[in-house]
Amino acid sequence: MTSLARPVGRGSSGGGIASLVRAAGPGAMAALGGDGLRLLSVSRPERQPESAALGGPGPGLCCWVSVFSCLSLACSYVGSLYVWKSELPRDHPAVIKRRFTSVLVVSSLSPLCVLLWRELTGIQPGTSLLTLMGFRLEGIFPAALLPLLLTMILFLGPLMQLSMDCPCDLADGLKVVLAPRSWARCLTDMRWLRNQVIAPLTEELVFRACMLPMLAPCTGLGPAVFTCPLFFGVAHFHHIFEQLRFRQSSVGSIFLSAAFQFSYTAVFGAYTAFLFIRTGHLIGPVLCHSFCNYMGFPAVCAALEHPQRRPLLAGYALGVGLFLLLLQPLTDPKLYGSLPLCVLLERAGDSEAPLCS
């Protein structure tokens, strides 16, 4: 990042003219009179350190505070799942209800960590804390629809596979989806609420909306996209202890599954971090997270053995191709108004962040 103060170059008028006047001697000084004195008083401005532009401690300390704050948030989120002692598995409704309480408490307090980080570093975002965390009305409709549409395009192959394997036709499926009774059953299903509502909302709030504003001034937007998901991926390692505790599989299979889950969640976290930065909204990442939890990881092996393998694999390839083609246009910041994280970096002197345009 560069400072807000720009040094005067060697060819600038202030330093160059003053040197010429000195070389010309006292005669030139007398000819210029008071102007000559003013010219000689012009000195080359010194480049301010980044900490001066930010109004806080040095960049090294700022980064340490940011990393420690993110690590504290991740540990608090995962630790809240284990404040309740129970011999029941994680999918038991009683366990899910208790974890709802603790996770919601931690998530609701997580903005205080961002507020404390702001006070410790002295960084002034130039906008309200809620706006910086993606809670704003400007551009909210495209921010809710376009990222979800982009994610559904990526899952074109799995969606085709789901429709092929579904015993009901499209009309019957829409009737089921739109029926009030179906939604009433979902709202009383603890696992559905966890996977589709509570987990997407709280995880995106903590691991994207709170962590990205703290990491971006330290690393820049691009590295923050790939740094932030590491906390998200590591946070999912707690599933190892539950699987080992209830002997759900062999030790090798459990650790192999954990490594795969870390990779998958890290990639997904980088994608939602990208969406958060490019749209400046939290709603898009939350909806995409909920959709991906519903779809699960694409069943590529099942697609390879499917009776309609060729059109299905073509759908997979088409979805990935269209996703890559539409990724930039559908996340164009011009569609969503001013981006809070970009405003934050502009105040820190980084006005050329590539994700901001």
Q: Is 306 a catalytic residue?
A: no
Active-site residue among 203, 204, 281, 289? 203
For 238-272, the DSSP string reads HHHHHHHHTT-S-HHHHHHHHHHHHHHHHHHHHHH
Report the C-alpha gap between 231 and 251 in whole angstroms: 24
For 307-340, the DSSP string reads TTHHHHHHHHHHHHHHHHHHHHHHT-GGGT-S-H
Residue carrying the six token digits 């829409």: 174
Are the beta carbons of 59 and 218 closer than 8 angstroms? Answer: yes
Report the C-alpha gap between 63 and 57 in whole angstroms: 10
DSSP secondary structure letter of residue 155 = T
Q: Would you give the distance in Å from CA 232 to the centre of its chain?
A: 10
Q: Is 281 a catalytic residue?
A: no
CB burial readout 221-254, b (16+ within 10 A) else e: beebbebbbbbbbbbbebebeebeeeeeeeeeeb
The H-or-E segment that residue 146 falls in is: helix 140-154
Active-site residue among 46, 87, 119, 236? 236
Going by C-alpha positions, the residue among 355, 205, 229, 212 that lies closest to residue 286 is 205
Task: Look up residue 119 and give its two tokens.
Answer: 């006070």
Sign of the dihedral defined by the CA atoms of residues 346, 52, 59, 202, in that order: negative
In this structure, the chain runs to a length of 357
Are the beta carbons of 155 and 298 closer than 8 angstroms? Answer: yes
Residue carrying the six token digits 């405003």: 343
Burial of 153 (0-12, 13-18, 19+ CB in 10 A): buried
As annotated, the active-site residues are: 203, 236
